[in-house]
Amino acid sequence: RKEFQSDTVLVTGATAGFGRAIAHKFHAAGAKVIAVGRRADRLDALKQELGARLMPLALDVADTAAIAREMEQLPADFRDITLLVNNAGFGTDRGAAQDAALADWDDMVNVNIRGLLHMTHHALPGMLARGRGQIINIGSVAGRAVGPTNAVYSATKSFVLQFTKALKTDLIGTPVRASYIAPGAAETEFSLVRWQGDEARAAKAYAGYQPLTAEDIAEAVFFAAAMPAHVDVTELELMPHQQGFGPRIFARD
């Protein structure tokens, strides 16, 4: 299907990158969209751009009490969420695991795992009661691949992969679907966040090849959502053409 007029789509991390592109994509297909992120000014700008069918929801998904409160208080015309896209996340391993700051590990776990779990927990009962719904979780190629200086980020995305597949399995007796989408390198604010606003360093992540765009990922999310109700897109991996699998790593003498 191409029309989403009867849908309400909640996207976390809608102030930048994939989430903003996903919000635009579903809004253009006729859905009501709840855009979640911490930066209220960007949510307001999105509201200005998209108008009545866009509900800005300033929320830190690491704040589980705030998630519970906000999900409980959704206005009547945005309450019936048909699609939850758990997209908010980041990777802030900035070196080897043995050199990491414990706070960075906590931050990744709190957003990439706990935030996703709490959003899912609060969205599911309504979907089950209404007999309609889908949860699309954004993982990463790092959820399967082991690479250097990425320990906790890749572990959080492995969690998302396994959780999504287990959730899909538990939901087979219900009309609610769950999908996992694993992007490779995409040019967003992801590297800027990783390198704490250092633009030159962030740009190096995308030098010399054509990375994926946020719109590429929005297409993949849309594909998973647009499949007929009897089809689960269980796992979808996307990479830039110029990205390959697996690093060759040796600590040579």
Q: Is 240 in the site for ligand NDP (CB under 6 A)?
A: no
Q: Whose Cβ is closer to ligand NDP: residue 132's or residue 188's?
A: 188
With CB under 6 A as the contact rule, the residue among 161, 188, 221, 225 that binds ligand NDP is 188
With CB under 6 A as the contact rule, the residue among 90, 163, 180, 222 that binds ligand NDP is 90
Give the active site residues: 153
CA distance 147 to 105: 16
Least Å distance, CB 17 to ligand NDP, is 2
Q: Is 19 in the site for ligand NDP (CB under 6 A)?
A: yes
Amino acid sitting at position 244: G
CA distance 132 to 176: 6
By rule CB under 6 A, what string of x and - marks binding of each residue 97-136 to ligand NDP? Answer: --------------x-------------------------
Q: Is 179 in the site for ligand NDP (CB under 6 A)?
A: no
CA distance 151 to 93: 7
Binding segment for ligand NDP (CB under 6 A), chosen from 47-55, 68-76, 82-90, 218-226, is 82-90
Of 96, 139, 146, 156, which is closest to residue 247 (Cα–Cα)? 146
Neighbouring C-beta atoms of residue 7, cutoff 10 Å = 21
Angle CA 247–163–117, to nearest 5:
115
* Contacts (CB under 6 A) with ligand NDP, residues 134-173: 138, 140
Q: How many CA atoms lie within 13 A of 143 on its CB side?
A: 27
Q: Whose Cβ is closer to ligand NDP: residue 74's or residue 132's?
A: 74
